[in-house]
Amino acid sequence: MYRGYGNPEDDWASLGVNTLLKRDPIFNKLYNWSYDDGTCLGAVYNIYQLKKQSKMLEYCKSNFDRYLDSQGNIHDYVAEDLALDDICNGKSLLDLYHETKDLKYKKAADKLYEQLKMQPRTEEGTFWHKKRYPSQVWLDGLYMGSVFYAKYQKMFNLDDRYDDVVHQFLSAYKVTLDDESGLCYHAYDEARQQPWVNKETGHSPHFWTRAIGWFVMAMADVLEYLPEDIEGRKQIIDNLDHLLKALKDYSDPQTHLWYQVTDEIDRPMNYIEQSGSSMILAAMAKGVRMGYLNASDYEDFIEKGWVNSLEQFITITNEGYVNTNRTCQVGGLGGPNKRDGSYAYYMSEPVISNDHKGYGAFLYLAYEMEQRKVNN
């Protein structure tokens, strides 16, 4: 990386969090209940657990307290929308309840758990991504909803729905998998009715790197909360391993990072994208740390990818703030803008700096690299 910024052995996790504390004391100025908050502040909480700096915990707490009243009612949350995106922040609510035992966090998490009980499903039993996206399974949804689904059950000693959590992961993998490449498509439409759908397979047209990044991070995360002996847990591990090995084959050979459209490296306008690359490397590193993956299959790849991710994506301002760059702002299918999932669509979305989803992905990866120092 550029020598003026430091080196890969620096404590990038703390540098990144301290940047947020100074630059974004109010994390979400739009004051909307957004999964960006849970993604990024969840990473801040992980780093707090490692560094034990109370200012990090207070940052998470103060930014979520803005949304909650004493009864756990959540500003800007509409349960009737039945959107998995709205569940993502629930993981942080559980963390805050664990730390403070303040019942408002549990009451708010209870509301999100109740939504999952009402969430519409495909005929195979997989959650729809949102009520307004009927019959559709999106890879993002596993990170947004199903990790919380398991984490809530473990925290409150429930065991009646673990099988359903496993089913969400195995069925989503099954319906999005491309057997030839080993990659998973961005989304699947069971009804074969969406304008973007392949009528034969139900798949969306392309592999989108951040969608796959959400999915592999979700698999690496959910395993912490599932009982060791539950049927299907080993299959989730195998699926994670197979998908990550396929991703290694489709990475940029020079940097060990990934392009916006995963499998079309040589196509004009495609670019190495920050958020998805950081997510995939973070999932690899966590999988190795937790013993889910064979270290010899991934160690060298992770180390090279980490160094190159700093070089490709990180800049430092005159104030010493850490910037993340080359992040796709958003990616989706259908909706009011009639996003068609074409290559042209994925190239059309803005590429920005310091997107909170991308920043969270960077922090998760930096956290894993700090963990490697502790464990070594």
Task: Render pLDDT for 68-122 as a digit per residue (tens, 0 to 9).
Answer: 999 999 999 999 999 999 999 999 999 999 999 999 999 999 999 999 999 999 9
Place 374 in a pLDDT band, splitting at 50, 70 and 90: confident
113 within domain boundaries? no
114 within domain boundaries? no
106 within domain boundaries? no
User: How confident is the model at residue 6, as a pLDDT?
Assistant: 85
Distance CA(323)–CA(103), nearest Å, equals 36
User: How confident is the model at residue 69, as a pLDDT?
Assistant: 98
User: How confident is the model at residue 1, as a pLDDT?
Assistant: 64
Distance CA(87)–CA(84), nearest Å, equals 5
Provide mean pLDDT across the span 223-245: 98
Q: Are 60 and 100 in contact (CB under 8 A)?
A: no
Q: Are 236 and 150 in contact (CB under 8 A)?
A: no
Does residue 375 surpass a pLDDT of 90? no
Going by C-alpha positions, the residue among 308, 230, 303 that lies closest to residue 272 is 308
Going by C-alpha positions, the residue among 272, 258, 287 that lies closest to residue 371 is 287
User: How confident is the model at residue 4, as a pLDDT?
Assistant: 76
Percent over 90 (pLDDT), the chain = 96
User: How confident is the model at residue 148, as a pLDDT?
Assistant: 98
Sign of CA dihedral 259, 261, 264, 268: negative
Q: Is 98 helix (H, G, I), strand (E, B) or coil?
A: helix
Render pLDDT for 337-370 as a digit per residue (tens, 0 to 9). 899 999 999 999 999 999 999 999 999 999 999 9
Work out how many domains the chain is built from and give that number.
1
Return the axis-axis angle of helices 233-249 and 209-222, rounded to nearest 10°: 150
Residue 121's CB is within 10 A of a number of other CB atoms, namely: 16
The Cα-based distances of 258 to 181, 254, 262, 266, 272 in angstroms read: 15, 11, 6, 12, 5
Average pLDDT, the chain: 97
User: How confident is the model at residue 312, as a pLDDT?
Assistant: 97
Render pLDDT for 161-189 as a digit per residue (tens, 0 to 9). 999 999 999 999 999 999 999 999 999 99
241 is catalytic: no
Q: Identify the active-site residue in 36, 37, 86, 140.
A: 140
357 within domain boundaries? yes
User: How confident is the model at residue 8, as a pLDDT?
Assistant: 93
Outline where DSSP puts E strands in 253-338.
Answer: 314-316, 322-324, 327-328
Q: Are 171 and 310 in contact (CB under 8 A)?
A: no
Q: Is 301 exposed, middle or buried (0-12, 13-18, 19+ CB in 10 A)?
A: middle
185 within domain boundaries? yes
Does residue 331 surpass a pLDDT of 80? yes
Amino acid at 306: W
DSSP secondary structure code for residue 142 in this structure: I
Render pLDDT for 2-49 as a digit per residue (tens, 0 to 9). 767 889 999 999 999 999 999 999 999 999 999 999 999 999 999 999
CATH, residue 276: 1.50.10.10
Amino acid at 84: L
* Domain, as residue range, for 10: 3-27+125-375
327 within domain boundaries? yes
Half-sphere exposure of 110 (CA within 13 A, CB side): 10
175 within domain boundaries? yes
209 within domain boundaries? yes
